[in-house]
Structure formats: structure tokens, C-alpha cells
């Protein structure tokens, strides 16, 4: 069952990311991205990182993807633009590079001695994440929140009306 | 804690007269049965809720509502249960309607849009419990899961609005995206309050906390505020009046649904009523003590011993929960037939400058409250 | 926006594309078949261009081929929500040309009918305005009460919408039995209902947010555009032809001119225009009550002329219809067919101000502003 | 203010504008070419102050006569009225627009142009308003002939139904 589901999710990720790259219409590409993001969330579930999976859905699908679609949709010139490059003089060279990269990664995959540990299902990742965010990684957490605050202020400044 | 899934799986495995099945096949069967159950629930919900809404609006507006299509005939010269078959008749009519797709529409996305919206509402029911153990899957991040999955539905709305290639639809989609993203924040913030106090994201833990202590709505002044913010943001999240800007019929014709008809349109309809139920269920579970009996709660307050608690148990629990949900749905209808609609900028103002600061302050104060009083 | 064409002074200014939007002729909130061509920048409307004529039925051309009496049913169809007022003012104009005196009873019945019509018309205006801002229930409340007015009309002349009731020199029917009693019953029933509208709509917080300060029409702009009726009075100009230029027997009644006060925002906003209509219903109730009390006996048919042939000449006669100043410019060449009839329709002038007060607001506000002008396309397109 | 004094005031400001001695008539008849100046005088003069244009009507004297535009003016301050008539030639007649002086005139001039065919010079947007843009002719002219077809649809001319 688990292998079955995993194969399905992996296939979804690969197929949808292929569609993202090859789509001629930017909105279609953005929609295909939704499949990829959902698939990645599914992969997280297989890693028992359910909290991370839900976070992936709420932030990437519910937030960032909506913003991407929103932006693409409302910019008329983008949505009608042809994205696929047809004139590609470097195609053979790129093919060679990609081939060697693929070969290297595959060999790495097979030659790595994968350590198979005991399958332990953690009780709940939420508590662990919460505790470590507020103790061990407090500084990182605060720095990230300051960064977000700056971004928020910048967005508010940009969207502000002229008359204030 | 057993869930529907566990008990169904157990039941399948207990069927000794069947040949031995691999767990994968059992899982597919179980999933199929549960999906059918959820779909039936959603359809029945829409049938009942639409009838309910029509009758409620009719009584509020000094008219009768549907009176003709009934199945119970006459009694004493008067139509008895008149109009009860109206929504069923409408549903059949909708399915028989011609399904039009505009010539200049983006076909794949036009078709995909309603399904995404419907799928999001559908998936949300996986995590919503209706009683002790009466849940398809009791996630340990249940609350977070529902919030996440309902936020996906907006993509369906945006896509169908954009793919219709109609300016009114586009406006509806634009408004909808802005609105749902904005109202998710106060919604999540007020949930966070409850999660902080209960110390868990799991629905059953939250209900357990309420049984051990008290319902969240009467827990502290801050949870009352959170309840109000949650309910109003929930109405906004479900696109109901006074926040029905994405489909504002007097301004945008029908917003993102303008070009839809027949079956696809009925998917929008199902999702709208399903999201009403999702919001009401969430509110009832999180703030109003879910399936806990109010009678038992009051008795406990006066120190009456356990043996005296009547009106509790699984079936009574279902009754209490559905009663609370029905009341909340009625409140939403009451809103709809009383209030005028807000303007987009007023909507944004309410979300960002009223609800969000209040929700944030709420979190801070409830933290203090818990530290000092608990 | 690329880096090269954005100047440093333009930093932070987001460039947007304008979009042309066709609102109507098939749109729920244009109150008929009006088409507004609006240019929008996001949700903000930058320019509104009304396109009229979808309901043009050649009223003025028809008039040149019909005798004076035959014009009356056509005036019904101009402002189909205030047919009595149209009949009344046209009939008064022709009577004045002919120098015709009508019996007192006729005058009183006419006033009763016209003021009841004003109530019905304002109910329609208030109800549909509620609909425009998204409240559906006030609409059904208004229609519930409007039905009762229409019942009275039906009882009197058999028609509910297009009456052809007020004739030149008289009426088509005398009042039926017990009409005075029924009318009084209606007024007693209706007066408290106005408070009900106020509770559900007028003082609703969302309604005030949507209409207060929106679409402000200053008094001088209103006069320059020829706005009249509740639209002009909402801007605080005390101008009511019934009061300032009394025609018929309006000088015999006690009533007040209702003015906008700027109570919920600026003087002349949508809320003021709306509230003037609400208050005018109260004034109309006052007038009908007085007229019913003073109603004299008499024969309503005695002044009906055998043939209507006004002497050569012209007249511009105006009166206060529920929508404002309704004028008829009638030219006679001594025949029984008018040489020229020009109708000065109040909604035509009121609508022409839409770009002035609507530009710069959002699409939702355009719907509100249009609703607050209370237009009837039958009268605009004629 | 009565018509006599208004005539006197206009004659004082714009002596050439008056067509005839209109004192016996109930209206003021003006020539088209001085109309804008007179209109300015009518609205600006402290004693006149005709700030409201009640009505603007096109008018046709008949197939032999000329077209006319009739303005009904009113002063909200002084509560007096004035009827101004301006005759223009039947074919290609034009007169200055007063749409910027009284904004009411904007749409009414379009309507008069639409139905009678006189043009208003200086009008910001002189298009047909009530009839379709491709309509031929100006129907309220007395010599207007109803076309047999409109966009291929026969126009019914049977009057039996209502005459």
C-alpha cells in the first residue's frame, strides 16, 4: 500500500513538474505547479512530517501559488506571451551536460550505502517543532520574523495610495 | 481512538468468507465507501440547506417560499409539506441543463476550476469529527489540516473566474482571492488561541479539554472575542452575505460563476453549502463544545454528580452537534437576509485593521490570562 | 514596467492598466436596459459613459399622430412607475392651454392618486436601492406595501401599473365605494412601516458605510445639470414645485419640503438622496390624509370636454413627479392633434450627472450611486 | 423680472442678438451667432441669473419653415422664467452649443440633434443619443419619411390596430 501510494505521488510530482516546464501558457504552468506542490506535501506525509505537509499546503498552495496565479492573471501581456523557446542553438551542448548530470546522480543513487534504520513513528512532530523553534532556534526564528516584518512594511509602502 | 477508517478496515478484515485481501485493496474499498459517504453527505446537505435557506428567507421576507413541489400531498385542504421536493427538482433540472463553455474560455482550466473548489471542500470532511471516534481520520494536526485544505479552494475560484474570459468573472476572482487570503489570517489567529489553551492541534484533544474544563466560548473573555472573529471571518471565508463580494449579484452579475451552468454550476453550489457546514462544524467543535451536552455542562457547574448526566452518549452527541451546526447555519442565513453587502475596500479594512489587530492582541492577552490564572 | 522607462521619481508608483467594462444593457443593477461604458483602473472607475436608447419607443413622434386624449396612455408608459403623475401633469398642461376649469372633486382625487403614486414610486426606489447595496429583504418589505397601493389603484380604475386614469378635464372613473375608508386604512397601516424600513435599512451600519459620503452631489452642480426632485433636495436645495410653484391645488395642503441634511456624511451623498425619499413618503401621507378629509362631493365628469382642441400657441408646463421636475412642452396648431409634444423627463437630467459624481469611486459605488438617482429607463429613453 | 426688462437687459448687452421686437410675444427670439454671449449674459447678470435650463426642445415649423431650438430658462434666485427661441436653417443649420454654460444642455442638445438634425457647434460629444448610431435621417422633422426597411427588417406601417 505504502509503495503504491508513494509511486503515485512521485509520478504526480514528476508529471506536473514536467508540465510546468513545458507549458506554453503561464497560467497553465502555475496550475501545474499546484500538482507539484501537493505532491511534495504528500512526500512529507511519507516522512511522518505531517505538520510540515500541512504547512506546505497552506503556505505554498494556499498562499504563494494564489499570489502567483493572481499576478499572472492580472498582467495581460504575460498570459498571452509565448514562453517556450524554439530557437535554441546550444541544444546539443545542453543535452550532453544534462546527460552527464543525470548519469552522475543515478550512479550516486545506486552507490550510496543507504542506512535503513528502525521505522519509528514519532508521536507528534508539532510539539517537537514548537519546542525547538522557541528554544534552540529562537534566534533564527526571530531573525526570520524581522525579515517578514520588513517585507510587510515594504508591501504596505508600495501599495499605499498617493494621497496617503 | 478508533476512527471510521479503522472500524471499516477492521470490518473488512473480519469478513472471513472473503478470500484474503491485501491491505492495499482493503484500503481502496474503505476509501471508496468513505468518499461515497462524504459525497452523499454533501449532496444531502445542499438539498436540505437550500430548502432551509429558502424557507428561512421566505419567513424573513413575508412570503411563503417554495410551496408547490411536494411529496406529501394534501391534508385538510391545505398543502402538507408543500415545497419539500423543490430542491430535489431543482437538482434534477440542473443536471439536465445544457453545459455551456464559452468559445473563448480556457477550456482545461474552465473545467478544472469547479473541481478544485469542490475537491477542497470534499477533502476537508476527512478531518472533521462528528462524535467520539466518529471521524474518517483523526489527524494530530486536524485543525491545521482543515485550515490548509480550505485555503486551496480559492485556487478553484480564481481559475474559473480567469478561464471564463469574462470581465465580471475576473473581477469576482480578484475579489475572491483578496478576500479569502485576508480572512484566513484572523480565522487562523482565533483558532491559534484555542490551540494554545488546549495545547493540541487534534480535534479530539480540544473536545476532551472542553469536557474536562468548560466550553471555549465561556472560558475567558478573550475566547469570546475569538469566537466572534472566527464566526464572522468564517462567513467571509464561505463567501456569504455581507461578504459575498465575489459573486455580488447586483454588481458583478454572478462573479466567478457568471459563465457556468448545469453540472459545473451545481458543483459551485455544493461547495458553497459544504463550506458553510465546514465553518459551522469547526465553530461548533472548537468553541461550542462539539458533541458535549449543554445539559451535562450546566449540571456539572452546579456540582451535580456524574450519575445524573442524562442526554449524553454517541447519539445524543450527534444530536447536540448537529443542533449547534444548524443554529450556526441559521445565523449565517439570518446575516444574509438582513445585511447589505460591504464594499471591497471596507472588507479589506475590516480584515486587516479590525480583526487582525484584535486577534493578535487576543493571543497575547490569552497567554497572560493563562499564565496568571491557570 | 521595465527598469529603463521608470524614472527615479516614479519609484513606488505602481503602473496599472485601464480596462473598459460594459455594464449593461443586460445587468442586474442598471434598472432597465441602460448601458454604462465604464473605464476602470482596478476596481476604481475613472470614467462613465452612459449609452441610452435601448428603450426608445418614439413617444414624441407618436404624439404628433395622436389626438390629445390618446397621448395620455403613452405618458403612462414613459415613467411606468409613476404613471399617475405623468397623466396629471400632461392633463394639467393641456387644460391650461384650453383654459379649462375642473371641478374641485376632480382636483382632490387627482392629488390623492398622485400622492399615493409617489408613495408607490418611492417604495420602488427605496427597495431597489436596498437591492443595489446587497440587502434583499428591504426590497420585499417595500413591495409588500407597494402592492397595497396598487390594490387601491386597481380598485379605482382597474389597472395596476398603467392607469390612463387622469383625463383632460376629468377622470376616467369616480372613486369607488368606500375608497376613502380603504385609503385611510392603508395610511394607518403604512405609516408605522416607514419606521420598519428605517430599522432594517436606513440606520444599518453597513448601509451607512456604503452610502454615506459616497457620490456627493454639490448643490451648484445639481442645478447646473438640471437635477430635480429628491436628487436636488438631497443636496440641500429647497426646491419642490408643489411648494414653490403650486399647481393644481397643492397650495391648500400643509406639508414640508424634505431636505438632505448630511446626517451620515457629506450633504448630497447617496444616503441623503435615499433618506429624502423615505421622508417624502411621510409628507405624501400627510397630503393624502388632508385631501381625503376635505374631499368634496360632485360630478367628476361634468368638465370633460366634447373635443380637445387647444387654441394655437404653446405652453411649457411642469410639475413635481416622484423623480423630479416633469415638464411638457406642448405646441398646438389649433387641431385635435398636438403639433409637437416634448417631454422634459427628470430622470434624463438626473442620470446625466452620473459621470460627475461617479468617477473616482469603485464599481460597487457606481451601482449605489445609480440606485440613489432612482432612474426609470422608460422615461429616459421615452 | 418681467419679459420687458429682460429684453431691455439683453438689448443693452447684446444689441444685435435680438431678431425682432419680441416685446409683444411671450418669448425672446435670438439669432444663432450671438447666442453664446447672450447666454453668458443671462446666467452672469446679477439681475437675471438664469442658472437653470429647465428644458431644451427642438422644433420644426414645417416642411417650408425653418428648424428652431427652444430654451426654457429659469432662475432659482429670482424665480423668473424666460423662453428663448433660436431659428436655424432647415438644412445644415447650426448654432453654438451652451453645454458648458448649462450642463443640462449637454444631453438635450444631443437629443435635439438626434431627432431634428441641427448641429451644435462646440458641443463636446455630439452623437446620437436615443436612436441607434446608424439611423438615417432625423425622425421628428415634419418631412421625415419612415424608411421601408431598417437593417433588412421591414418597418410595419399598418395603422389599423390603433386608428
Given this model, what pLDDT does residue C312 score? 85
- Is the pLDDT at A100 greater than 90? The verdict is yes
Reported as a pLDDT band with limits 50, 70 and 90, residue C4 is very low
Does residue D45 register a pLDDT over 60? yes
Do residues A129 and A79 both lie within one domain?
A: no
d(CA B84, CA B87): 7
Say whether pLDDT at B19 is over 70.
no
**Residue contact B167–C19, C-beta within 8 A:** yes
- Name the β-bridge partners of C171: C166
Please tell me if residue A57 touches chain B, with a CB cutoff of 8 Å: yes
CB contact under 8 A, A159 and C12: no
Residue A99 within a domain: no
Touch between chain A and chain D (3+ CB pairs, < 8 Å)? no
* Other Cβ atoms closer than 10 A to B228: 15
Which residues on adjacent β-strands are paired with residue D108? Answer: none
pLDDT of C1 reads 35
| Nearest to C194, CA basis, from C247, C147, C142, C231 | C142
Contact of D62 with D11, CB cutoff 8 Å? no
pLDDT of residue D53: 86
Contacts of C234 (CB under 8 A, 6+ apart): C217, C259, C260, C268, C269, C272, C273, C274, C275, C276, C372
| Residues in A touching B123 (Cβ below 8 Å) | none
D153: in domain: no
Return all residues near D20 (Cβ < 8 A) that are at least 6 apart: D29
pLDDT of residue A97: 93
CA angle B309, B315, B318 (to 5 degrees): 100
- D69 within domain boundaries: yes
Note the pLDDT tens digit of each residue in C114-173.
999 999 999 998 989 888 888 888 889 999 899 999 999 999 888 888 888 888 888 888
- Other beta carbons within 10 Å of C173: 15
Q: Mean pLDDT across the stretch B303-324? A: 73
Q: How high is the pLDDT of residue A147?
A: 94
Query: Nine-digit cell at B200?
Result: 493540541
CA distance C369 to chain B (A): 12
Given a cut of 60, is residue A48 above it in pLDDT? yes
Q: Lowest-confidence range among B1-10, C193-202, C250-259, C297-306?
A: B1-10
Neighbours of C179 (CB within 10 A): 17
Residues of A in contact with C14 (CB under 8 A): 158-159
DSSP state of C183: H
B240 contact residues in C (CB cutoff 8 A): none
**Residue C12: is its pLDDT beyond 50?**
no
Which residue in the block uniquely carries the three cell numbers 416633469?
C326
C and A make contact (3+ CB pairs below 8 Å): yes
| Mean pLDDT, residues C276-286 | 90
| The predicted structure's pLDDT at residue C39 | 87
C vs D: CB pairs below 8 A: 71
Please give the tally of structural domains in chain D: 1
Q: Compute the nearest-CA separation of B26 from chain A (Å).
A: 10
* Residue C170, strand partner residues: C167
* Residue C302 contacts residue C207 (beta carbons within 8 Å): no
Residue D119 lies in a domain: yes
Model pLDDT, residue A103: 92
Q: Is the ipTM of this complex over 0.85?
A: no
Closest Cβ opposite residue B341 in set C133, C144, C200: C133
Chain B: closest CA distance from residue C353 (Å): 20
Total tally of structural domains belonging to chain A: 2
Which tens digits make up the pLDDT trace of C308-353?
888 888 888 888 888 888 889 998 888 888 888 888 889 888 888 8
Tell me if A69 and B109 make a contact (CB, 8 A cut-off). Answer: no
Max avg pLDDT among A70-74, B243-247, B304-308, C219-223: C219-223
Q: Find, in chain B, the residue whose alpha carbon is nearest to that of C366.
A: B251
Determine the pLDDT at residue D93. Answer: 81
Per the CB < 8 Å rule, is A162 touching C13?
A: yes
Rounded Cα gap, residues B240 and B49, in angstroms: 14
How many CA atoms lie within 13 Å of D73's alpha carbon, on the beta-carbon side? 29
Report domain extents, chain C. 58-342
Does residue B348 have a pLDDT over 60?
yes
D160 in a structural domain:
no
C-alpha cell at C46: 475613472
- Round the average pLDDT of chain C to a whole number and report it: 85
- pLDDT given for residue D159 in this prediction: 60
- Give CA–CA dist C381/C58, Å, rounded: 9
Query: Does A129 lie in the same domain as A61?
Result: no
DSSP string computed for B226-250: HHHHHHHHHHHHTT-TTS-GGG-TT
Q: Do chains C and D touch (3 or more CB pairs under 8 A)?
A: yes
- Output the nine-digit C-alpha cell for C185: 386604512
pLDDT band at residue B23 using 50, 70 and 90 as cut-offs: low
Query: Coil, helix or strand for C58?
Result: coil
Tens digit of pLDDT for each residue in B210-237?
877 778 888 888 888 888 889 888 888 8
Task: Using CA coordinates, name the residue in chain C closest to B175.
Answer: C43
Residue B150 to residue B130: CA distance in whole angstroms: 18
- Alpha helix positions (H), C158-239: 179-197, 205-211, 219-224, 230-234
- Contact list in C for residue D51 (CB cut-off 8 A) is 223-224
> In which domain, by residue range, is D79 found?
3-146
**Could you give the CA distance from residue A125 to residue A132 in angstroms, rounded to a whole number?**
11
pLDDT in tens, B249-298: 777 777 788 888 888 888 888 888 888 888 898 898 888 887 877 777 67
Which of D24, D103, D140 should be substituted to probe chain C, the one whose Cβ sees the most C Cβ atoms within 10 Å? D103
Nearest residue in B to A49, CA atom? B141
Averaged over A9-15, what is the pLDDT? Answer: 88
Cell of A18: 514536467
Q: D and B: touch, per 3+ CB pairs < 8 A?
A: no
Which whole-number Å values give the CA distances from D55 to B10, B38, B88, D71, in the listed order?
Answer: 86, 67, 57, 6
Give the pLDDT confidence of D69-126 residue by residue, as tens digits.
888 888 888 888 888 888 888 887 888 888 888 888 888 888 888 888 888 888 888 8
pLDDT over 70 at B346, yes or no: yes
CA distance B317 to B130: 8
Residue C373: closest CA among C77, C29, C4: C29
Chain D residues touching residue C61 (CB < 8 angstroms): 139-140
C60/D130 CB distance under 8 A: no
Pair (A77, A146) in one structural domain? no
Q: Calculate the CA dihedral of residues C214, C220, C221, C222 and round it to 10 degrees.
A: 80
Maximum distance among all Cα pairs of chain C, rounded to whole angstroms? 86
Band of the pLDDT at C175, cuts 50, 70, 90?
A: confident
Residue C287 φ/ψ region, left for φ over 0, alpha for ψ in the -120 to 50 degree band, beta for the rest? alpha
For residue A136, what are the domain limits?
124-164
All residues at 6 or more sequence positions from D7 whose CB lies less than 8 Å from its CB, including other chains: D18, D22, D23, D28
Q: Is residue A114 part of a domain?
A: no
In contact, B266 and B42? CB cutoff 8 Å: no
Domain C58-342 CATH assignment equals 1.10.645.10: yes
Q: Taking residues B4-9, what's their average pLDDT?
A: 69
Contact check, Cβ <8 Å, A27/B141: no
Q: Does B248 touch chain C (CB under 8 A)?
A: yes
Q: Assess contact for B154 and B177: CB atoms under 8 A.
A: yes
Q: Closest-CA residue in chain B for A53?
A: B145
For testing contact with chain C, the best of A71, A73, A157, A158 (most C CBs within 10 A): A158
Gap between the Cα atoms of D44 and D32, Å rounded: 19
pLDDT for residue A99: 92
In a domain, A92, yes or no: no
Please check whether residue A19 lies inside any domain of the structure. yes
Residue D58 lies in a domain: yes
Within 8 A of C142 by CB-CB distance, chain B residues are: none
Banded pLDDT at C67 (limits 50, 70, 90) = confident
Q: Hey, are the CB atoms on A158 and C12 less than 8 Å from each other?
A: yes
Looking up residue D9, the CATH number of its domain turns out to be 3.30.460.80
Asked if the Cβ–Cβ distance from D54 to C344 is below 8 Å, we say: yes
Task: Select from B275, B289, B274 the least CA-distant residue to B323.
Answer: B289
The grid coordinates listed for C149 are 397601493
C363 with B251: Cβ contact below 8 A:
yes
Q: Is residue D162 part of a domain?
A: no
Q: Is the pLDDT of residue D55 over 80?
A: yes
Q: Residue A155: inside a domain, yes or no?
A: yes
Amino acid at each position: 500500500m505504502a509503495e503504491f501510494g508513494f509511486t503515485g505521488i512521485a509520478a504526480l510530482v514528476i508529471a506536473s513538474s514536467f508540465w510546468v516546464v513545458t507549458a506554453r501558457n503561464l497560467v497553465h504552468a502555475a496550475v501545474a505547479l499546484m500538482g507539484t506542490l501537493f505532491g511534495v506535501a504528500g512526500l512529507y506525509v511519507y516522512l511522518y512530517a505531517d505538520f510540515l505537509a500541512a504547512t506546505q499546503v497552506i503556505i505554498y498552495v494556499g498562499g504563494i501559488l494564489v499570489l502567483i496565479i493572481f499576478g499572472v492573471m492580472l498582467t495581460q501581456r504575460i498570459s498571452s506571451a509565448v514562453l517556450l523557446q524554439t530557437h535554441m542553438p546550444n541544444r546539443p551542448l545542453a543535452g550532453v551536460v544534462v546527460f552527464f548530470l543525470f548519469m552522475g546522480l543515478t550512479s550516486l543513487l545506486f552507490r550510496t550505502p543507504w542506512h535503513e534504520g528502525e521505522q519509528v513513528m514519532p508521536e507528534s512532530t508539532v510539539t517537537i517543532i514548537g519546542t525547538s523553534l522557541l528554544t534552540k532556534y529562537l534566534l533564527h526564528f526571530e531573525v526570520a520574523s524581522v525579515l517578514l516584518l520588513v517585507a510587510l512594511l515594504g508591501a504596505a509602502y508600495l501599495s499605499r495610495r498617493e494621497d496617503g | 481512538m478508533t476512527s471510521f477508517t479503522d472500524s471499516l478496515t477492521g470490518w473488512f478484515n473480519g469478513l472471513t468468507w472473503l478470500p484474503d485481501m491485501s491491505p492495499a485493496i482493503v484500503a481502496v474499498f474503505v476509501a471508496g465507501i468513505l468518499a461515497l459517504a462524504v459525497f452523499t453527505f454533501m449532496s444531502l446537505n445542499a438539498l436540505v440547506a437550500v430548502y432551509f435557506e429558502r424557507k428561512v428567507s421566505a419567513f424573513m421576507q413575508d412570503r411563503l417560499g417554495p410551496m408547490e413541489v411536494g411529496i406529501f400531498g394534501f391534508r385538510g385542504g391545505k398543502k402538507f409539506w408543500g415545497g419539500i421536493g423543490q430542491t430535489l427538482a431543482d437538482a434534477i433540472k440542473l443536471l439536465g441543463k445544457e453545459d455551456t463553455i464559452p468559445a473563448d474560455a480556457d477550456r482545461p482550466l474552465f473545467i478544472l476550476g469547479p473541481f478544485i473548489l469542490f475537491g477542497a471542500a470534499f477533502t476537508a470532511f476527512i478531518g472533521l469529527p462528528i462524535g467520539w471516534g466518529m471521524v474518517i481520520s483523526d489527524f494530530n494536526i486536524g485543525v491545521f489540516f482543515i485550515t490548509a485544505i480550505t485555503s486551496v479552494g480559492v485556487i478553484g475560484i480564481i481559475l474559473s473566474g480567469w478561464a471564463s474570459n469574462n470581465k465580471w468573472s475576473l473581477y469576482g476572482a480578484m475579489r475572491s482571492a483578496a478576500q479569502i487570503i485576508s480572512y484566513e489570517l484572523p480565522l487562523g489567529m482565533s483558532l491559534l488561541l484555542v490551540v494554545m489553551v488546549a495545547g493540541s492541534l487534534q480535534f479530539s484533544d480540544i473536545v476532551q479539554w472542553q469536557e474536562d474544563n468548560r466550553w471555549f466560548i465561556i472560558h475567558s473573555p478573550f475566547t469570546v472575542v475569538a469566537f466572534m472573529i472566527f464566526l464572522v471571518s468564517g462567513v467571509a471565508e464561505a463567501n456569504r452575505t455581507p461578504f459575498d463580494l465575489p459573486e455580488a449579484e447586483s454588481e458583478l452579475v454572478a462573479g466567478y460563476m457568471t459563465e457556468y451552468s448545469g453540472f459545473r454550476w451545481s458543483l459551485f453550489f455544493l461547495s458553497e453549502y459544504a463550506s458553510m457546514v465546514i465553518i459551522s462544524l469547526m465553530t461548533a467543535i472548537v468553541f461550542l463544545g462539539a458533541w458535549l451536552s449543554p445539559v451535562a455542562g450546566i449540571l456539572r457547574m452546579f456540582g451535580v454528580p456524574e450519575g445524573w448526566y442524562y442526554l449524553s452518549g454517541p447519539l445524543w452527541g450527534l444530536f447536540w452537534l448537529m443542533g449547534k451546526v444548524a443554529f450556526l447555519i441559521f445565523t449565517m442565513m439570518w446575516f444574509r437576509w438582513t445585511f447589505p453587502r460591504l464594499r471591497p475596500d471596507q472588507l479589506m479594512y475590516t480584515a486587516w485593521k479590525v480583526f487582525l489587530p484584535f486577534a493578535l492582541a487576543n493571543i497575547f492577552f490569552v497567554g497572560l490570562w493563562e499564565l496568571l490564572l491557570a | 514596467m521595465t527598469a529603463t522607462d521608470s524614472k527615479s521619481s516614479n519609484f513606488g508608483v505602481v503602473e496599472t492598466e485601464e480596462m473598459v467594462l460594459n455594464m449593461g444593457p443586460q445587468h442586474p443593477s442598471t434598472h432597465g436596459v441602460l448601458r454604462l461604458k465604464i473605464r476602470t483602473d482596478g476596481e476604481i472607475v475613472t470614467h462613465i459613459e452612459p449609452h441610452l436608447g435601448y428603450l426608445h419607443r418614439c413617444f414624441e413622434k407618436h404624439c404628433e399622430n395622436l389626438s390629445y386624449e390618446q397621448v395620455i396612455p403613452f405618458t403612462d408608459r414613459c415613467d411606468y412607475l409613476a404613471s399617475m403623475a405623468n397623466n396629471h401633469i400632461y392633463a394639467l398642461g393641456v387644460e391650461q392651454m384650453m383654459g379649462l376649469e375642473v371641478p374641485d372633486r376632480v382636483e382632490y382625487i387627482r392629488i390623492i392618486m398622485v400622492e399615493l403614486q409617489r408613495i408607490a414610486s418611492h417604495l420602488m426606489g427605496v427597495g431597489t436601492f436596498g437591492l443595489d447595496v446587497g440587502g434583499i429583504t428591504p426590497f420585499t418589505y417595500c413591495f409588500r406595501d407597494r402592492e397595497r397601493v396598487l390594490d387601491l389603484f386597481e380598485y379605482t380604475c382597474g389597472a395596476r401599473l398603467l392607469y390612463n386614469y387622469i383625463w383632460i378635464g376629468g377622470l376616467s372613473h369616480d372613486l369607488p365605494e368606500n375608497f376613502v375608508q380603504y385609503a385611510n386604512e392603508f395610511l394607518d397601516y403604512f405609516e408605522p412601516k416607514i419606521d420598519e424600513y428605517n430599522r432594517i435599512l436606513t440606520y444599518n451600519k453597513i448601509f451607512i458605510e456604503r452610502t454615506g459620503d459616497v457620490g456627493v452631489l454639490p448643490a451648484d452642480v445639481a442645478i447646473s445639470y438640471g437635477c430635480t426632485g429628491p436628487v436636488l433636495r438631497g443636496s440641500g436645495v429647497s426646491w419642490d414645485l408643489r411648494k414653490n410653484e403650486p399647481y393644481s391645488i397643492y397650495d391648500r395642503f400643509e406639508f414640508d419640503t424634505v431636505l438632505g441634511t448630511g446626517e451620515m456624511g457629506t450633504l448630497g451623498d447617496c444616503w441623503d438622496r435615499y433618506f429624502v425619499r423615505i421622508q417624502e413618503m411621510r409628507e405624501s401621507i400627510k397630503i393624502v390624509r388632508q385631501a381625503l378629509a376635505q374631499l368634496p362631493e360632485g360630478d367628476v365628469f361634468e368638465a370633460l370636454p366634447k373635443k380637445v382642441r387647444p387654441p394655437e400657441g404653446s405652453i411649457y408646463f411642469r410639475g413635481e413627479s416622484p423623480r423630479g421636475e416633469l415638464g411638457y412642452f406642448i405646441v398646438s396648431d389649433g387641431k385635435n392633434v398636438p403639433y409637437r409634444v416634448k417631454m422634459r423627463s427628470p430622470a434624463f437630467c438626473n442620470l446625466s450627472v452620473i459621470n460627475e459624481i461617479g468617477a473616482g469611486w469603485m464599481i460597487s459605488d457606481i451601482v449605489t450611486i445609480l440606485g440613489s438617482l432612482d432612474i426609470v429607463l422608460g422615461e429616459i429613453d421615452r | 423680472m418681467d419679459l420687458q426688462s429682460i429684453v431691455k437687459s439683453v438689448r443693452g448687452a447684446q444689441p444685435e442678438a435680438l431678431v425682432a421686437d419680441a416685446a409683444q410675444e411671450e418669448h425672446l427670439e435670438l439669432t444663432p451667432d450671438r447666442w453664446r454671449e447672450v447666454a453668458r449674459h443671462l446666467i452672469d447678470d446679477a439681475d437675471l441669473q438664469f442658472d437653470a435650463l429647465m428644458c431644451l426642445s427642438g422644433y420644426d415649423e414645417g416642411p417650408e419653415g425653418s428648424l428652431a431650438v427652444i430654451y426654457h430658462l429659469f432662475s432659482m434666485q429670482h424665480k423668473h422664467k424666460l423662453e428663448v427661441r433660436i431659428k436655424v436653417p432647415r438644412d445644415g443649420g447650426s448654432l453654438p452649443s451652451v453645454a458648458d454654460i448649462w450642463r443640462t444642455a449637454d444631453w438635450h442638445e444631443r437629443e435635439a440633434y438626434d431627432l431634428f438634425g441641427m448641429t451644435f457647434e462646440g458641443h463636446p460629444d455630439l452623437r446620437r443619443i436615443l436612436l441607434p448610431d446608424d439611423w438615417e435621417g432625423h425622425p421628428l422633422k415634419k418631412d421625415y419619411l419612415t424608411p421601408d426597411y431598417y437593417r433588412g427588417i421591414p418597418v410595419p406601417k399598418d395603422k389599423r390596430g390603433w386608428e
